[in-house]
Amino acid sequence: MENPLLSVRNLTLDIPVGGGTLHAVRGIDFDLMRGETLCIVGESGSGKSLTSLALMGLLGKTIRRSADRMDFDGTDILTAKPRAMRALRGDRMAMIFQEPMTSLNPAYTIGDQLTEALLLHKSVGREAARERAIELLEKVGITAARSRLGQYPHQLSGGLRQRVMIAMALMCEPELIIADEPTTALDVTIQAQILRLLYDLGREMNMAMILITHDLGVVARVADKVAVMYAGELVETGPATDVFNTPSHPYTRGLLRCIPQPGKTERGSTLGTIPGIVPSLIGDVQGCAFRTRCPFAQAECKADIPRREEGTHMFRCIHPDGKRHAEEEVTA
């Protein structure tokens, strides 16, 4: 069997804070094959963004990162020297950020910023780099690409800037691209366009992609694999079809109820919500973090929750079918 491009085991991120330690990400595992798209979903504060920054080696100095394994195509990115990580970043793994308005340097032209990664990583001349930049700008659907190279970020709209960010990430034809909510800051009308573009280009270049998003509609369309994060933990992960057809964690089912599903959701019916808030992750977190909001919670949920696996479909819940034990009332 082919080796995964990216393999992560027991990734843990701790942030020392005033009152103790914030366990922002707690032991997550996943594998990503070449050309595969993994969608990480979960609400704000679930550790999605931190996970992606941890993969890129871009975490702040105060965050403690540990893992049993973090392997990118044979390179151990957990112990890699800064120089080795720099060689990977922008060349073999690239990232697209949430905020196109502030993610470009205001002092330099689009051309300068597009060609930077290529000039840093590959031995190409300035002219060749500019040609490549024009080619990619055209690919991401920017018209008059040649004249854009001399423009500054403030002269472009948010949608255009995000297209530039995508082109920038693709300059060196990375094997892995991480997109952290790339459309959150954009107008609804162009969100779908940008995602489609990203997905098509990913397919075309056979890139593996980690797409972080709130939008389950997007996930349903593009994901090969889905990972559902809740409070720093992967509560459910597996092939997209399995997760969508047999969602096994109550949180996943809750998320799915929050979006309308063509053909299933009746016109005029109320969409679901998940009541409550994400618990504090400061100090020791015991048992299932979702139990305070789970309609099926019971006494056992306070203990450690074992992983349950059906093939490649994994979830952490002791009653995946959602049946409430009659003799026990909702606790916690």
Contacting positions for other proteins (CB under 8 A):
56, 58, 82, 86-91, 94-95, 97, 99, 102-107, 109, 116-117, 120-121, 152, 154-155, 165, 168
Asked if residues 77 and 85 have their Cβ atoms less than 8 Å apart, the reply is yes
CA 56 – CA 223 distance, rounded (Å): 21
Closer residue to other proteins, CB minimum distance, 182 or 254? 182
Helices in 178-303 by DSSP H: which ranges?
A: 188-204, 216-222, 240-245, 250-257
Residue 5, classified by CB atoms within 10 Å of its CB into exposed (0-12), middle (13-18) or buried (19+), is buried
In the DSSP assignment, the letter for residue 91 is T
> Minimal distance in Å, beta carbon 50 to other proteins?
13
**How far is CA 261 from its chain centroid?**
23
CA 6 – CA 37 distance, rounded (Å): 12
Q: Which residues have C-beta within 8 Å of that of residue 21, sequence separation ≥ 6?
A: 14, 15, 282, 283
Count other C-beta atoms under 10 Å from residue 104's C-beta: 23
> Minimal distance in Å, beta carbon 51 to other proteins?
15
> Minimal distance in Å, beta carbon 136 to other proteins?
14
> Minimal distance in Å, beta carbon 96 to other proteins?
9
Closer residue to other proteins, CB minimum distance, 62 or 269? 62
Around 54, how many Cα atoms within 13 Å sit in the side-chain half-sphere?
Answer: 29
CA 272 – CA 270 distance, rounded (Å): 6
Closer residue to other proteins, CB minimum distance, 112 or 300? 112
Closer residue to other proteins, CB minimum distance, 40 or 156? 156
Closer residue to other proteins, CB minimum distance, 107 or 326? 107
In the DSSP assignment, the letter for residue 11 is E
> Minimal distance in Å, beta carbon 212 to other proteins?
14
CA 117 – CA 99 distance, rounded (Å): 19
Closer residue to other proteins, CB minimum distance, 121 or 214? 121
> Minimal distance in Å, beta carbon 109 to other proteins?
8
**How far is CA 243 from its chain centroid?**
16
Closer residue to other proteins, CB minimum distance, 172 or 216? 172
> Minimal distance in Å, beta carbon 163 to other proteins?
15
